[in-house]
């Protein structure tokens, strides 16, 4: 009788352990983004700081895939909305809906797009970089659209939220693609 009960209980326990593991990964990823957001450099003449958070969002999407990446970044936004200081300039609804809100609100979709493209590819560097570039287009479309709404000028939005950041974003795309490719090589070597 004990053996039958153990056989029935083990799949349930296995599912619970796996669910807890996946939840821990999502929470850890949201905290990784928060940590990277704290690496922030204000740029004179623009309300948008240069941060590592975009790198983290891309890396989370590439490494965790579309669903877990989306969940991690939705959790990150919920943490910030609740007032936790996870954004580059603090936390709270004022930051979430302030000048940089278009970038922040796009984060779950950015992670989803990067993960979606990459998980359906050969997992090579070029695919990770391509997925990251497409995700960055989503990020900047949202961020610049939001800034243009606030400034009532698309040219000001470009100046404030794009021009200063192009070189940094290229580096972030390459770093995220390199991290994802390296991680996938290690996983393949251990299989």
- Backbone dihedral angles phi then psi of residue 20, each to the nearest 5 degrees: -65, -40
Residues 100/57, Cβ–Cβ less than 8 Å:
no
Residues 91/85, Cβ–Cβ less than 8 Å:
yes
Residue among 156, 158, 72 nearest 110 (CA): 72
Q: Report the number of distinct structural domains present in the chain.
A: 1
Q: What is the DSSP string of 68-125?
A: HHHHHHHHHHHHHHTT-S-BTTB-SHHHHTSTTHHHHHHHHHHHHHHHHHHHTS---H
Residues 91/79, Cβ–Cβ less than 8 Å:
yes
The two structure tokens encoding residue 128: 């990770």
Gyration radius from the chain CA atoms = 19
- Residue by residue, pLDDT tens for the chain (191 residues) are 455 555 556 787 888 999 999 999 999 999 999 999 999 999 988 889 999 999 999 999 999 999 999 999 999 999 999 999 999 988 999 999 999 999 999 999 999 999 999 999 989 999 999 999 999 999 999 999 999 999 999 999 999 999 999 999 999 999 999 999 999 899 888 77
Round to whole Å and give the CA distance between 61 and 135.
9
Residue among 44, 48, 40 nearest 95 (CA): 48
**Beta-carbon contacts of residue 77 (< 8 Å; ≥ 6 apart):** 96, 104, 105, 107, 108
Residue 25, classed as helix, strand or coil, is helix
Query: How high is the pLDDT of residue 47?
Result: 87
Cα angle: 28, vertex 136, 64; to 5 degrees: 30
Dihedral of the CA atoms 42, 144, 120, 59 (nearest 10)? 10
Query: How high is the pLDDT of residue 9?
Result: 61
Query: How high is the pLDDT of residue 45?
Result: 86
Domain that holds residue 167: 2-189
pTM of the model: 0.92
CATH of the domain at 75: 1.10.1760.20
């Amino acid at each position: 009788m004990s053996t039958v009960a153990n056989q029935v209980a083990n799949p349930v326990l296995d599912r619970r352990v796996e669910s807890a593991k996946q939840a821990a990964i999502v929470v850890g990823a949201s905290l990784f983004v928060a940590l990277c957001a704290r690496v922030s450099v204000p740029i004179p003449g623009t309300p948008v700081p240069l941060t590592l958070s975009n790198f983290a969002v891309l890396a989370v999407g590439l490494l965790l895939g579309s669903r877990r990446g989306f969940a991690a970044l939705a959790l990150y936004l919920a943490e910030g909305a609740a007032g936790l200081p996870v954004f580059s300039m603090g936390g709270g609804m004022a930051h979430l809906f302030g000048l940089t809100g278009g970038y922040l609100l796009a984060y779950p979709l950015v992670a989803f797009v990067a993960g979606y493209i990459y998980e359906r590819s050969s997992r090579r560097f070029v695919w990770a970089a391509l997925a990251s570039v497409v995700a960055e287009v989503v990020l900047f479309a949202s961020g610049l659209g939001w800034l243009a709404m606030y400034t009532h000028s698309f040219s000001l939005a470009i100046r404030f939220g794009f021009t200063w950041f192009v070189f940094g974003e290229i580096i972030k795309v390459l770093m995220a693609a390199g991290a994802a490719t390296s991680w996938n090589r290690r996983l393949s070597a251990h299989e």
